[in-house]
Structure 1
């Protein structure tokens, strides 16, 4: 049986600060291939090269990855400030309509970090530019120094809605996660259901209400150690199963 294809949304980058590339973390490809059981296909997220319609034909599901550039605040009706950081307007132009199209058709996607934020914005929500500056909030950003193991270490709990989709998937109402983000959900979109929060109240796990397909998205980075981590593994396996079901249905 042919493995289904998961389009991994890539980011813009520079090799040696001069050569422009589209790039994606190897751990994303590893999680998609080894845990979800799908073929990872890196997508250049730029409407100059691809369209949403083409991507939905080529791919069976999508992984909306993390990335340094943030969703431009004009996408949720707010002015740009220095706190919003850098942007990737080409990625915005692909991912936001892609999320909305997948929600309507039932094509599976999973959002991670920036991808989690993209899902909220695509569904009409907004973002805080720097959540660590909010009263009572912790610093969720990646530690500035140390090894990858230290950067992706488990740092806080996420409390899940009892009986909700995530709690049922993980078999528990509380999980431990890493945290490597600066922005976070300010106002959830009208159809966004928050099913997981950090101890400081920051939304960490969401889904789209009444969507016909897989829409689970998380603020943390489950691609790290996905084969062994007891939270990451069931999440990617469930995503892979949803992609497999979609692929079988569309080819039947």
Structure 2
């Protein structure tokens, strides 16, 4: 039986400081293949190579991955400053219209870290350039030193809305997550439902209210140890179920026969 295809948004890098590449973390592919049960396909997120329409027709669902560059603040009406960090305008040009199209079509996506922020910006929301500079906020950034296991270790509690989507999915009001981000949501976009927050008030889990498809997005990195983590596993399983439903019933079935 053919597995449905999940497009994994790639990031641009320079290999050996000179060779341009598009790359994606192996742990994203691992989570999609072995927990969601789908076929992972890395997307070169650059409009020179792919179009949003082509991606919608080729893939059944999408993982909007994390990445070092941030969404350019011009996308939410602000001027760039040094606090905003690095940017990837090519990725912005793909992911922001892709999110809007998926919301409208009901095509499933899972937003992770930068992807979480992309969903908010795509729907008209804004971001803080640096969470740790805000009064009363903790430092959510990745620890600068240590092993990969130490950098992705569980570091803070996320409190979920009583009987909300994430509470029902995880079976708990509080879950432990890792944290590897500098920016965060300032104002939510249209239809954005904040369903979980860190103890300092930072939004950590959300979905698009009244959207016809799967739109769950998280500020942490659930792809780390997704097969074993009690929070990551049900999230990727639910995403895989939504992708299979799209591929076999509504959007995907219609797409392939139309």
TM-score normalised according to structure 1 size: 0.99
Q: C-alpha separation between the residues in 2 aligned to 1:206 and 1:123? A: 13
Structure 2: gaps spanning 5 or more residues: none
Equivalent residue of 2:63, what SS?
Answer: strand
Equivalent residue of 1:187, what SS?
Answer: coil
Alignment correspondent of 1:213: 213
Q: Does 1:55 align with 2:55?
A: yes
Q: Tell me the CA shift for residue 190 of structure 1.
A: 2.1
Alignment correspondent of 2:70: 70
Alignment correspondent of 2:34: 34
Alignment correspondent of 2:229: 229
Q: C-alpha separation between the residues in 2 aligned to 1:74 and 1:89? A: 10
Structure 1: gaps spanning 5 or more residues: none
Which portions of structure 1, spanning 4 or more consecutive aligned residues, are displaced by more than 6 angstroms?
none
Q: Tell me the CA shift for residue 153 of structure 1.
A: 0.3
Alignment correspondent of 1:112: 112
Q: Deviations over 1:129-174 (max 9, x none)?
A: 0010000000000000000000000000000001000000001111
Alignment correspondent of 2:238: 238
Q: C-alpha separation between the residues in 2 aligned to 1:251 and 1:194? A: 31
Q: C-alpha separation between the residues in 1 aligned to 2:217 and 2:170? A: 14
Query: What is the root-mean-square deviation in Å for CA atoms of aligned residues?
Result: 0.6
Alignment correspondent of 2:178: 178
Q: C-alpha separation between the residues in 2 aligned to 1:21 and 1:86? A: 17
Equivalent residue of 2:80, what SS?
Answer: coil
Q: C-alpha separation between the residues in 1 aligned to 2:231 and 2:131? A: 24
Q: Tell me the CA shift for residue 45 of structure 1.
A: 0.4
Q: C-alpha separation between the residues in 1 aligned to 2:128 and 2:7? A: 28
Alignment correspondent of 2:149: 149
TM-score normalised according to structure 2 size: 0.97
Alignment correspondent of 1:86: 86
Q: C-alpha separation between the residues in 2 aligned to 1:153 and 1:123? A: 31
Q: C-alpha separation between the residues in 2 aligned to 1:149 and 1:3? A: 30
Q: Tell me the CA shift for residue 94 of structure 1.
A: 0.3
Q: Tell me the CA shift for residue 14 of structure 1.
A: 1.0
